[in-house]
C-alpha cells in the first residue's frame, strides 16, 4: 500500500526519470520501467512512430534515441489518478528541439506504459491565440497587397515559379488534414486531386452512404464541427465540409489534377512528379511526396472466368453508382463487409431483388451498442461534458500500446455479444457467419490488422436476418455466365447486376502504379501490425506499417485512415516534414526491416 497520493507518485517518478536521463544514465532510467513495459513514441525522440516493448527494448531506445535528444522539464500535467492498482497521469516534457506531451501508467511504482508525443518544434510554433496574425496592417502603405492579392500571387507562383516542398497525391480527408497542418507550419505544399472538387471522393460514392463513425470522432484538425452537426454525416454533407475546410484553411488544392508518375532523383534528393492539370501535363519537383491516395489501397477486383461475357452491369464497390435504375432487377453483391451491406440495403430499398454472397465470417455490431460501449467513454456527448477534449481522447487511444489492445477489448466484446445475443442469434439463423476477430478482440483491432472485415449495422442486418436480403453463405464465386453467376456450391443465381465488394489491397499498390514495383517492394506492405492473423502476417511489428513515418524510400510518406487517424497522425507527419524543411536533424530510430511486399 502506497501512502503517497497518485499525483505525488507520478511527479516523483517523473523527477527520477528526468534526473536519470539528464545524467545520461540509460540503465537507471530503464530501471524505472517494469519487465513487461512499453514506451510508445510519436516522433518526439525517435523521429519515428515506434513502440519499444519490454525492458530491454526500452533500455535500448533510451540509450540510442531518448538521451541523445536531450530531454528535460518532465512535469505532471493536472492531477494523477489511480484505478485498480494502475496510477496514471498526463505529462509534458521538452527535448533540445521540441516540446511534447505524454501519458504514463505506473504499476507498483514502475512504468507499465509510457507515451511520448511531439507537439511542436521550438522556434516553429504555430501562431495561434495571442500570437495570431493581425491580418491587416493599419496605416498607409503605398503598393500594399490585400489578403486576396497575396493568395492569388501564391496560387500563381507555387508550382510554376517556385516548387512546393511537399506534394500530397490525393485530396480526400487524409490529404486535406495533412495539408492544413503543413499550411499552419508554413511548409509550401500542393495537394493534387484527380477529382474536380474537394469532397468528391465522398460525393461520388453511392448515394445512401453516411459516415458510420459518430461526429465526436470525426473532427478535422483546428476546425471542429459545430455542435448541431448530425451524429452521422451524410456523404454529401461531409463532402461540403471538406470543400469549405479546404478553402478557409487556404490550402493549395489542385483539383482535376491527376498524378501520372513520380520518380525520385537520389542525387538531387527530389521527386519528379508528372501530373496532368485540367488536361495539361506539368512537372512538379518537391523534396517530399506523400501518398494520400486512400488508406485502403487499390481496389481488389478478382478475375473470375467468364466475367467478360457478362451482359449486365458488373463493377467493384468503389465504382458502384448507387441503386437508381435497379428497381425490379436481380442484384448479386459479392462480399459481406461495410460496402457490401450498404450497397445491398440501398438496392433493396430501391426495389431490387438482392442476394449477398458471403465467403467468410464478418464482424457485425449494432451501431447503438458500439456508440455506447466503444466510442462512449472518449467520443460522445458524455465525454464532452466530462471535459474530454478531442486531443485528450486521441492521446488516450494512442497511449495504449497495440500489443495490449486485444486483452483490453475482449471483455467489451463479450459484453456486446451478450447484450445483443438475440440479434446475433437471428443473423446466424439466417446463415450469416459471424466473427468477433480471430481472438475475439473486436472491431478496432480488426481495423488495425486488416483495415476491414466488419459492418457497423445501420439497417442491413435486419434485412438479412429476415430474408429480405437473400444470403448465400460459405460459398465463393466459380464463374460468371452471360446473365448469371455460378457459385462454388454449384448453385446459379440469375443476375442483372454484380457488385464485387471485395475490398482493397495495400497502399504500396499505389506506389507500384505511380512510381515503380521496385520502390513498392522496397517500402513493403502498408498498414497491419504483424499480428499473424488472416491478412496480417507476422512477424509482430507493433505499429501500423509505413503509416505517417519514414519509409525505406527517402522522401516517400503515407497518410490515410479514417477521420480520426487522418486528424491525429497528420500532426506527427507534418512535424517530421517541417523539421526536414528547417534543417533540424531528424535521426530516425527503430525503422524495421520489410517483411512483406504487399
Ligand X SMILES: Cc1cc2nc3c(=O)[nH]c(=O)nc-3n(C[C@H](O)[C@H](O)[C@H](O)COP(=O)(O)OP(=O)(O)OC[C@H]3O[C@@H](n4cnc5c(N)ncnc54)[C@H](O)[C@@H]3O)c2cc1C
H or E stretch covering 580: helix 563-581
| Number of CB atoms found within 10 A of residue 1's CB | 2
List Cα–Cα distances, 350 to 251, 325, 345, 357, 464, in angstroms.
39, 8, 9, 19, 16
Judged by beta carbon, residue 17 or residue 501, the one nearer ligand X is: 501
**Sheet containing 33-42: which strands, arranged edge to edge?**
49-53, 33-42, 110-121, 98-107, 86-94, 72-83
Q: Which stretch binds ligand X (CB under 6 A): 11-19, 51-59, 79-87, 207-215?
A: 207-215
Name the H helices within 451-538. 460-465, 508-514, 517-523
Residue 339 in the binding site for ligand X (CB under 6 A): yes
Considering only residues 226 to 265 of the shown chain, the ones binding ligand X according to CB under 6 A are 258-259
For the bound state, the minimum distance from the C-beta of residue 246 to ligand X, rounded and expressed in Å, comes to 12
Among 71, 171, 297, 550, binds ligand X (CB under 6 A): 171
Task: Label residue 18 exposed, middle or buried (CB < 10 Å: 0-12, 13-18, 19+).
Answer: middle
Is residue 360 classed as helix, strand or coil in its secondary structure? coil
Binding mask 552-571 for ligand X (x = CB under 6 A): --------x-xx--------
Binding mask 65-104 for ligand X (x = CB under 6 A): ----------------------------------------
Is residue 317 classed as helix, strand or coil in its secondary structure? helix
Residue 182 in the binding site for ligand X (CB under 6 A): no
Judged by beta carbon, residue 102 or residue 198, the one nearer ligand X is: 198
Strands 477-481 and 484-487: antiparallel
For the bound state, the minimum distance from the C-beta of residue 169 to ligand X, rounded and expressed in Å, comes to 5
Judged by beta carbon, residue 33 or residue 264, the one nearer ligand X is: 264
Binding mask 293-332 for ligand X (x = CB under 6 A): xxx-------------------------------------
Half-sphere exposure of 119 (CA within 13 A, CB side): 13
Is residue 75 classed as helix, strand or coil in its secondary structure? strand
Q: Is 323 in contact with 208 (CB distance < 8 Å)?
A: yes
Judged by beta carbon, residue 18 or residue 234, the one nearer ligand X is: 234
Residue 580 in the binding site for ligand X (CB under 6 A): no
Judged by beta carbon, residue 89 or residue 453, the one nearer ligand X is: 453
Closest residue to bound ligand X by CB: 172
Cα separation, 129 vs 127, whole angstroms: 7
Question: Do you find a cis peptide bond into 329, omega within 30 degrees of 0?
Answer: no
Residue 195 in the binding site for ligand X (CB under 6 A): yes
Residue 164 in the binding site for ligand X (CB under 6 A): no
For the bound state, the minimum distance from the C-beta of residue 343 to ligand X, rounded and expressed in Å, comes to 9
For the bound state, the minimum distance from the C-beta of residue 275 to ligand X, rounded and expressed in Å, comes to 7
User: Which residues sit at the interface with ligand X, rule CB under 6 A?
Assistant: 169-175, 192-195, 201, 209, 211-213, 258-259, 292-295, 338-339, 342, 514, 560, 562-563
Amino acid at each position: 500500500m502506497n501512502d503517497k497520493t497518485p499525483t505525488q507518485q507520478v511527479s516523483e517518478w517523473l523527477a527520477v526519470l528526468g534526473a536519470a536521463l539528464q545524467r545520461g544514465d540509460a540503465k537507471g532510467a530503464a530501471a524505472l520501467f517494469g519487465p513487461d513495459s512499453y514506451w510508445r513514441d510519436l516522433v518526439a525522440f525517435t523521429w519515428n512512430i515506434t513502440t519499444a516493448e519490454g525492458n530491454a527494448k526500452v533500455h535500448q531506445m533510451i540509450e540510442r534515441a531518448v538521451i541523445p535528444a536531450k530531454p528535460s522539464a518532465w512535469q505532471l500535467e493536472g492531477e494523477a489518478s489511480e484505478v485498480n492498482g494502475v496510477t496514471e497521469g498526463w505529462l509534458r516534457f521538452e527535448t533540445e528541439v521540441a516540446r511534447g506531451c505524454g501519458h504514463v501508467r505506473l504499476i507498483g511504482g514502475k512504468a507499465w506504459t509510457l507515451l511520448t508525443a511531439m507537439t511542436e518544434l521550438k522556434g516553429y510554433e504555430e501562431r495561434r491565440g495571442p500570437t495570431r496574425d493581425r491580418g491587416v496592417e493599419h496605416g498607409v502603405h503605398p503598393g500594399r497587397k490585400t489578403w486576396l492579392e497575396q493568395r492569388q500571387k501564391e496560387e500563381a507562383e507555387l508550382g510554376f515559379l517556385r516548387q512546393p516542398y511537399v506534394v500530397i497525391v490525393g485530396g480526400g480527408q487524409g490529404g486535406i488534414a495533412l495539408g492544413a497542418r503543413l499550411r499552419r507550419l508554413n511548409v509550401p505544399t500542393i495537394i493534387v486531386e484527380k477529382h474536380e472538387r474537394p469532397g468528391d471522393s465522398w460525393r461520388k460514392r453511392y448515394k445512401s452512404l453516411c459516415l458510420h463513425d459518430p461526429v465526436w470522432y470525426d473532427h478535422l484538425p483546428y476546425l471542429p464541427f459545430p455542435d448541431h452537426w448530425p451524429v452521422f454525416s451524410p456523404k454529401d454533407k461531409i463532402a461540403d465540409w471538406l470543400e469549405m475546410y479546404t478553402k478557409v484553411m487556404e490550402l493549395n488544392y489542385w483539383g482535376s489534377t491527376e498524378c501520372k508518375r513520380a520518380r525520385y532523383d537520389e542525387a538531387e534528393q527530389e521527386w519528379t512528379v508528372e501530373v496532368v492539370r485540367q488536361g495539361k501535363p506539368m512537372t512538379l519537383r518537391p523534396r517530399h511526396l506523400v501518398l494520400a491516395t486512400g488508406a485502403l489501397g487499390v481496389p481488389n477486383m478478382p478475375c473470375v472466368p467468364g466475367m467478360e461475357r457478362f451482359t449486365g452491369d458488373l463493377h467493384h464497390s468503389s465504382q458502384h453508382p448507387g441503386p437508381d435504375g435497379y428497381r425490379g432487377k436481380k442484384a448479386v453483391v459479392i462480399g459481406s463487409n461495410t460496402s457490401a451491406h450498404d450497397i445491398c440495403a440501398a438496392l433493396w430499398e430501391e426495389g431490387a431483388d438482392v442476394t449477398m454472397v458471403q465467403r467468410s465470417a464478418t464482424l457485425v455490431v449494432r451501431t447503438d451498442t458500439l456508440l455506447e460501449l466503444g466510442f462512449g467513454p472518449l467520443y460522445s456527448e458524455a465525454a464532452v461534458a466530462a471535459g474530454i477534449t478531442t486531443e485528450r481522447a486521441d492521446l488516450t487511444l494512442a497511449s495504449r500500446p497495440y500489443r495490449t489492445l486485444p486483452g483490453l477489448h475482449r471483455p467489451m466484446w463479450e459484453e456486446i455479444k451478450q447484450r445483443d445475443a438475440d440479434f446475433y442469434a437471428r443473423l446466424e439463423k439466417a446463415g450469416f457467419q459471424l466473427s468477433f476477430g480471430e481472438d475475439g478482440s473486436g472491431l478496432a483491432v480488426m481495423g488495425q490488422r486488416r483495415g476491414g472485415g466488419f459492418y457497423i449495422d445501420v439497417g442491413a442486418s435486419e434485412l438479412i436476418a429476415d430474408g429480405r436480403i437473400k444470403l448465400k453463405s460459405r460459398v465463393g464465386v466459380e464463374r460468371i455466365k452471360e446473365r448469371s453467376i455460378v457459385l462454388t456450391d454449384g448453385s446459379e443465381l440469375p443476375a442483372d447486376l454484380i457488385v464485387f465488394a471485395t475490398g482493397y489491397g495495400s497502399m504500396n499498390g499505389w506506389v507500384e502504379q505511380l512510381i515503380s514495383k521496385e520502390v513498392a517492394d522496397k517500402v513493403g506492405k502498408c498498414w497491419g501490425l504483424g499480428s499473424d492473423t488472416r491478412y496480417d502476417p507476422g512477424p509482430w511489428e507493433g505499429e501500423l506499417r509505413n503509416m505517417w513515418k519514414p519509409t525505406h524510400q527517402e522522401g516517400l510518406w503515407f497518410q490515410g485512415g479514417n477521420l480520426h487517424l487522418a486528424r491525429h497522425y497528420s500532426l506527427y507527419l507534418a512535424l517530421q516534414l517541417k523539421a526536414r524543411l528547417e534543417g533540424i536533424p531528424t535521426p530516425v530510430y527503430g525503422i524495421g526491416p520489410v517483411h512483406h511486399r504487399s
